[in-house]
Amino acid sequence: MSVLNKRKVMKQIIDIQSHLEMVGFIKTNGTACRFVSLISETPVTNIQAACPFKGVIKTSKKMGLINVNYVTSVEKRIADKLGIGPKAVEYVPGNTWYKHLEITVEVNGKEEKRALPLCINKKKDDGEFYLQYFPTSSKNVYTMPNGDVVNEADLKPWFYDSKKPDFKPVVITVKLTNIKRIALSGVIMKTEDLEEAQALLDTIS
């Protein structure tokens, strides 16, 4: 492949009509750890009932990774904290409300099942797909349903305390239908309503 063709691949942009297209695209990327950028729009649910900002929405631009081995990451962090080797740590994760979709791959002549970053709700069939994502950076804008911007400093006191032990990496599970844009493996997939979210993010530094 020529350098020119490589540049064309890196700029490939796909307008999607259905988030099922996103499902297929993420599946084809397999189980290798990869950098991904997202623009998403999600309702804020981790706030107290008395919060005066009813129906607030968070628009985010995130950089991060998919297909990170959570258990290995936790074990390494614990080992680093204790000053011991990772093999001396055994971490057993707790139960989650979601489960990973899996694919079968061949490793050294044997078939193995490996988890995709795509998840479904294992407690109820809601028909949704979710992306497990390990953010490394994020910028957020909060707005009311009528479009008015809410200062994060005003909203922050109403958040539930979600502090986790420092040996656990930040991980989020994003509903695919809340993703407006995903950039992965040189391909950008975007929805019809991306421009509004992008314009809102462009208002902050």
Which residue carries 């929805």 as its tokens? 191
Asked whether residue 51 is assigned to any structural domain, the reply reads yes
Specify the amino acid at residue 175: K
In eight-state DSSP terms, residue 47 is B
Task: Say yes or no to pLDDT of 137 above 60.
Answer: yes
- How would residue 21 be classed by pLDDT, with cut points 50, 70 and 90? very high
Give the pLDDT mean for 150-167: 88
For the chain, what is the total number of helices (H) and then of strands (E)? 5, 10
In the chain, % of residues over pLDDT 90:
78
Which residue carries 């795509």 as its tokens? 118
Task: Say yes or no to pLDDT of 6 above 70.
Answer: no
* Residue-range definition of the domain harbouring residue 158: 9-92+134-201
Asked whether residue 104 is assigned to any structural domain, the reply reads no
Task: Say yes or no to pLDDT of 84 above 90.
Answer: yes
Q: How far apart are CA 38 and CA 59, in angstroms?
A: 10
Within 8 A by CB and 6+ apart from 66, the residues are 26, 33, 34, 36, 117, 131, 132, 133, 134, 184
Q: CA nearest 70: which of 51, 46, 98, 112?
A: 98
Asked whether residue 122 is assigned to any structural domain, the reply reads no
H or E element, residue 86: none
Give the pLDDT mean for 176-190: 96
Per-residue CA distances from 159 to 51, 146, 171 (Å): 9, 21, 18
The tally of domains found in the chain comes to: 1
Which residue carries 């002549």 as its tokens? 109
Asked whether residue 116 is assigned to any structural domain, the reply reads no
Asked whether residue 106 is assigned to any structural domain, the reply reads no
Give the pLDDT mean for 23-40: 95
Opening angle at CA 49, ends 180 and 151, nearest 5:
55
What pLDDT is attached to residue 105? Answer: 83
Asked whether residue 117 is assigned to any structural domain, the reply reads no
Give the pLDDT mean for 110-133: 94
Asked whether residue 114 is assigned to any structural domain, the reply reads no
Q: CA nearest 119: which of 110, 108, 128?
A: 128
User: Which two tokens mark 57?
Assistant: 């929405």
Asked whether residue 19 is assigned to any structural domain, the reply reads yes
Q: Name the 3-class secondary structure at 70.
A: helix
- How would residue 68 be classed by pLDDT, with cut points 50, 70 and 90? very high
What pLDDT is attached to residue 205? Answer: 61
Specify the amino acid at residue 180: K
User: Model's pTM, two decimal places?
Assistant: 0.87
